[in-house]
Amino acid sequence: MLATGGLLLRDWVLRRRRRLTERLAAYESLLAHSMVVGQAASALRLTLQIRSGLGEGWDIALRHRKPLEPFDLADRLLRDFQPLLAAWTAVWAKGSEVAIPLANDLVDTCVDLIRVATEPGREGSRVGRFLRGERWTADQDRAFTEAHRALGELRRRLAEVLRHEGGEEVVQLFAR
């Protein structure tokens, strides 16, 4: 009887540890993949700036560069977003009441960051943008910076939840 109770207790402890490990892995995955999406947003914005304007048109016409393929771009975005969405689903399945709303906000912020990053520039005239390429207003640049900052803040808050639930000391993550 005592041996059976000991085995049941051991199994319960092991299940509990496994669930905690899975929960923390879901948080870690969401944190890592949200960073990838943040980097992709910056790359998209830079690509819009570099791969636009009259010079880009000449480079494509003279076959110095391939035109951007919409399907290639969509594939790249799906490659970045699929693991993020899988991690988000894992947080829904295994996460705590504190982590789930943070995960929801984090994914929403990733989507918003991509939206802001790919917004057409409004700096200058249409003719100027045609000649020089995409240029963003100071307000658009601030919105992009703020969207990046919001992503970083949500990542910090989720990392604090991860550390707390994992039994680690919560530390200043942006310390220098």
CATH code for the domain in which residue 113 is found = 1.20.1440
Domain holding 102, by residue range, is 23-52+69-124+135-165
Q: What is the pTM of this model?
A: 0.83
Whether residue 73 lies inside any domain: the answer is yes
Whether residue 139 lies inside any domain: the answer is yes
The predicted structure's pLDDT at residue 54: 66
- Contact at 8 Å (CB) between 117 and 41? yes
Whether residue 44 lies inside any domain: the answer is yes
Angstrom CA distances, 46 to 42, 59, 133, 141, 150, stand at: 6, 17, 11, 12, 20
Give residue-wise pLDDT tens across range 43-99.
989 888 876 766 766 666 767 767 778 888 888 888 989 999 999 999 999 999 999
**Domains held by the chain: number:** 1
pLDDT tier at 15, thresholds 50, 70, 90: confident
pLDDT-above-70 percentage for the chain? 86
- Select the highest-mean-pLDDT range: 44-48, 126-130, 153-157: 153-157
pLDDT-above-90 percentage for the chain? 51
Residue 161 CA to its chain's centroid (Å): 17
Whether residue 3 lies inside any domain: the answer is no
Q: Which residues does 133 contact at the CB level (< 8 Å), separation at least 6? A: 49, 50, 51, 52, 53, 54, 55, 56
8: exposed, middle or buried (Cβ count in 10 Å: 0-12, 13-18, 19+): exposed
- Contact at 8 Å (CB) between 154 and 161? no
Whether residue 64 lies inside any domain: the answer is no
Q: Which amino acid is at 54?
A: L
Whether residue 27 lies inside any domain: the answer is yes
